[in-house]
Structure 1
Amino acid sequence: MSIVVRILAASISLFIVAVSLSSEAISAPISVVDAIRARGKVVCGLQDHAAGFSEVSPRGAWSGLDVEFCSALAAAVLGNRDAVKFLSLNAGDRFKSLQDDDVDVLLGATSWTLTRDTELGARFTGTLYYDGQGFIIPRNHSIASVLELSGASICVLSGSSDEMAISDYFGSRKMRYQLITSDRWEDLVKTYSDGGCTVLTGDMTLLAYEKSRLASGADQMLLPELISKEPYGPAVRLGDDAWFAIVRWTAMALVAGEELNISSGNVDAMKASPSHEVRRFLGLDADLGAPLGLSRDWAYQVIRQVGNYGEIFERTLGQSSSLKLDRGLNDLWTKGGLMYSVPFR
């Protein structure tokens, strides 16, 4: 083979390699974080009528636990809690919107289940709120426990997981019951308020919301037991580990802030703390933002701009809200709850 032919062959090979590399670079998907920084906003998929989690006022103002978590993500990634866009989704479209890149993170009081975590192209990053199926009953019935409901009539959505949970719970305890069913939640609430059933069952947060709306709300009580597990939390698309980590650790930061007694009101004063744990968390003695691709003070920004988990809970679901829910399972692990942050180190 002549030198000219060999040079030509080598040039063609180099050209093919260059074209291949160029094509790969063009086709390589942009990361979620890069997309967020390019547009200057985190896009959160939510419901617009989930009491305590995500609601929108007639003036377009959003509020709720999920809404504040989205603000925390914006503070962590962009340094600005207001750099967020809320997209209202219906139940049938929420996971498709996540798969189609319409949203960066999906919330909307979405319960974490095995099939949702394996079949829908999504991954749940953790639990932001522990809910479950409960019961509301008039106080004048003098019943203080679900175990006293044998023989009760129960208003429940027909064909729902709530109906199946009743069958499992009452059946395993050989407790008698009568179901009053409807396809419409509004009709069940009316039946209950008119005395057509002994108790109304559903997720505890939904029952608390209905209690706050009933004219006789003060005469109603939520029974303390839950008969099912409904862990709510953010979900992200499969395939972007960096974004998964940011969403997970932002939720951890909210809980860790409360564990360390760091709040939006004292976060600046806590910079003078001698505690190495506090100083690491605030980015003073360590750069824990680097492994996440975030700024050194990202956790400080989250707490300063949004607050810790306890603050958020209090104003969206707790005693400062219309729902007035107790912390219960959503209290810190040191106080009998399930909220627990992995160490920041």
Structure 2
Amino acid sequence: MALTVAAAALLASLGAAHAGTLDDVKQRGVVRCGTSPNNPGFAFTDSAGKQRGFDVDFCRALGAAIFGDIAKAETKVVEPRDAFTVLATAGVDVLTHRFTWSFNRDNGAGLEFTQALFYDGQGFMVRKSANVKSVNDLNGATICAAQGTTTELNVADYFRQRKLTYKIVTFNGTDPARLAYDEGRCDAWTNDRGSLASRGQGLKNPADHVILPETISKEPVGPVVRDSDPKWAHLVRWVMFATIAAEELGITSENVDELKASSTNPEVKRFLGVSDDLGQKLGLSRDWAYNIVKLVGNYGEIFDRNLGAKSPIGLSRGLNGLWKDGGLIIAPPFR
């Protein structure tokens, strides 16, 4: 009993240490986000030395919401195997990374997944010259994968269920796995399909490779925070919802000023802080959602410029389309 009480007190004290993340962020003057390394379209450094990508833009959305300034959003590249430790020790305030929302990660690990922002699934890339048409053709294959991810377990489950043999070779990070595959050390390379499409741009001859048609898992991806600060988790979640709601309401970075000045739509007026002050419940200013759209854009704008038709990746929206268009992306009402 005494040990149980002592353990509970210790956990409570640890939770209290992180109970004021928003206050810490405001005092520091910058919000810090952990991002994945060298992942074109999601998080990468461009030729000018600037961080760009889908995950980076959602970090900037936090900077816009909290400070009204995207320059006060700081990204820190962390390897998958280190990311949760970096978050737990307050090295970053949030992970806008490529981590799948799973039961074990969301229960008992001190983590909270706030919102699925990108729906993906695990796939396999192979050389066209191998004439492999299906995952079933990989019986006996050597497969490259990143260490510390869910991909190993997914491969094991899929191949065991189909009585297929394989050898998995893991590497310390996604880039080493890609390089090993590119050097011919593996017959196939496995990762989320979105990452295969983006990181595949870094292969010596991208056109010589193809992603197989099967998707062997569901991989909902979104920001992760410590579970000791529910106020911070709410803020991160609703900042993400704001980008989605803006697209649902037809609010873009180009028309947001006009709509703020002239819209008669009650939800648009609430959302932009014209009629209601929704920000106060999050510890933010009245125009927090306006700042997000003005400085970063809505979900569709963020997707299109980083991953969609306006980007080198060229991904279709698919499951990442709005719910009204047959996708899974939806935001609760702003009221």
* Letter matched to residue 288 of structure 2: W
* Letter matched to residue 332 of structure 1: L
CA contact (8 A) 2:39 2:199 kept: no
TM-superposed CA distance for 1:178, in Å, is 5.3
What pairs with 1:215-254 in structure 2 (closer than 5 Å)?
216-218=205-207, 220-254=209-243
- Of 14, 31, 40, the residue aligned with 1:42 is 31
1:243-289 residue CA offsets vs partner (Å, 9 max, x unmatched): 11110000000111111111111111222222212222111122211
What pairs with 1:37-76 in structure 2 (closer than 5 Å)?
37-57=26-46, 60-76=49-65
CA contact (8 A) 1:156 1:202 kept: no
User: Could you tell me how far apart the structure 2 residues matched to 1:96 and 1:215 are?
Assistant: 33
What pairs with 1:196-215 in structure 2 (closer than 5 Å)?
197=187, 200-214=189-203
Confirm or deny that 1:283 pairs with 2:273: yes
**What 5-or-longer segments of structure 1 have no aligned partner?**
1-26
What pairs with 1:1-345 in structure 2 (closer than 5 Å)?
31-57=20-46, 60-137=49-126, 146=134, 149-153=135-139, 154-157=141-144, 161-169=150-158, 172=161, 174=162, 177=164, 179=166, 181-184=168-171, 185=177, 186-191=179-184, 197=187, 200-214=189-203, 216-218=205-207, 220-271=209-260, 272-345=262-335
Question: Which TM-score applies when normalising by structure 1?
Answer: 0.80
TM-superposed CA distance for 1:309, in Å, is 0.8
Aligned position for 1:10: none
CA contact (8 A) 2:61 2:292 kept: yes
Query: Quick check: 299-308 or 262-271, which moved more?
Result: 262-271
* Letter matched to residue 258 of structure 2: A
User: Could you tell me how far apart the structure 2 residues matched to 1:78 and 1:84 are?
Assistant: 9
Quick check: which has more Rg, 1 or 2?
A: 1
* Letter matched to residue 166 of structure 2: L
User: Could you tell me how far apart the structure 1 residues matched to 2:52 and 2:63 are?
Assistant: 15
CA spacing shift, 1:296–1:210, aligned 2, 3 Å: closer
TM-superposed CA distance for 1:329, in Å, is 1.5
CA contact (8 A) 1:98 1:237 kept: yes
User: Could you tell me how far apart the structure 1 residues matched to 2:138 and 2:80 are?
Assistant: 31
Superposition misfits of 4+ residues, deviation over 4 angstroms: 27-30, 137-144, 158-161
User: Could you tell me how far apart the structure 2 residues matched to 1:73 and 1:179 are?
Assistant: 43
User: Could you tell me how far apart the structure 1 residues matched to 2:235 and 2:67 are?
Assistant: 12
TM-superposed CA distance for 1:191, in Å, is 2.4
TM-superposed CA distance for 1:28, in Å, is 7.7
Q: CA RMSD in A?
A: 2.9
TM-superposed CA distance for 1:223, in Å, is 3.9
The number of residues matched between the two structures is 311
TM-superposed CA distance for 1:306, in Å, is 0.2
SS at match of 2:305: helix
* Letter matched to residue 151 of structure 1: D
CA contact (8 A) 1:129 1:330 kept: yes
Aligned position for 2:5: none
CA spacing shift, 1:28–1:94, aligned 2, 3 Å: closer
* Letter matched to residue 229 of structure 1: K
CA spacing shift, 1:296–1:88, aligned 2, 3 Å: same
Question: Which TM-score applies when normalising by structure 2?
Answer: 0.82
**What 5-or-longer segments of structure 2 have no aligned partner?**
1-15, 172-176
User: Could you tell me how far apart the structure 2 residues matched to 1:92 and 1:201 are?
Assistant: 17
Query: Quick check: 155-164 or 299-308, which moved more?
Result: 155-164
TM-superposed CA distance for 1:163, in Å, is 4.7
SS at match of 1:85: strand
CA contact (8 A) 1:125 1:244 kept: yes
TM-superposed CA distance for 1:44, in Å, is 1.3
Query: Quick check: 214-223 or 87-96, which moved more?
Result: 214-223
Query: Quick check: 84-93 or 214-223, which moved more?
Result: 214-223
TM-superposed CA distance for 1:292, in Å, is 1.2
* Letter matched to residue 116 of structure 1: R
* Letter matched to residue 48 of structure 1: P
TM-superposed CA distance for 1:59, in Å, is 5.1
CA spacing shift, 1:65–1:155, aligned 2, 3 Å: farther
